[in-house]
Structure formats: C-alpha cells, structure tokens
Amino acid sequence: MCLSGIYKGNILVVDDEQDITTVIKTGLENDGYQVDTFNDPTKAIAQFKPNYYSQIILDVRMPNINGLSLAKLIWEKDDKARICFLSAFEIYEAEARKVFRDFKTYCFIKKPIMPIALSKHIEAHLVQAR
C-alpha cells in the first residue's frame, strides 16, 4: 500500500533473510515503490524481468549465489540494470569496486539501514544514474 500517493517505480529486493526483505518491502511500498522480493537468489534470477526494475537491491552474502555473482547474471540479461548491494561488511564494497569498476550503475549500502534512509539513498542513485 502506497502511503505517499505517488508511484515511483519498480524495485527488486533479494536477501536470504525474510525479515529484512519484509521490512524493506514495507518501507519502500509506503514511499511509493512497487516492490518484488525474493529470499532465494536462484528464484530471483529465474523470474528476473529485464528492463522492468528502476532499482535492484541485492544482499552480498547469500547461500548458493552471492550478491556479486547474482549481479553478473542480472547484467547479462539487462546491462543497464541499476543495482545497490547491501552488506554489513566493508570488505565486500572493495571487492565489488574491483570486480565492477566499469559499471557505473551500482551503489553500496551499509547494513543496517532504516527504510526512510534506504528510500532516500535509492532516489539519489536513480537521479545520479540518469
């Protein structure tokens, strides 16, 4: 349910922790986004819709496929996808910057983050990517 009354776009959230995806989904939907969530990265890539999402949010540490590997799979299907990585560990940010140095369509968000701060971060990233 959108409390803002304004539709802002579609967001995909992939995190193996259901409580995190629930909190993010609720917060972003209240701010005007339509949010799809997955707790299994293999299901997320199987059901991924190219050119559909304004923003994609991926946890870095997940079983089976980590967020960095999932991003590569997503970019194979949609090379303009805007991805934000979520992690509590700064080492992953350095790794992402090495692996994805040619991609300008990603950002890094440090956990924990409040939904309102996440929404502002997403809006800033969307403006920057234009």
7 vs 57 pLDDT, higher one? 57
DSSP state of 88: S
49-70 pLDDT per residue, tens: 999 999 999 999 999 999 989 9
Q: d(Cα 86, Cα 96) in Å, to the nearest integer?
A: 11
pLDDT at 2 over 60: no
- Mean pLDDT confidence for 26-38: 94
pLDDT at residue number 4: 57
Q: Residue 67 belongs to what H/E stretch?
A: helix 67-77
Domains of the chain: 9-129 (3.40.50.2300)
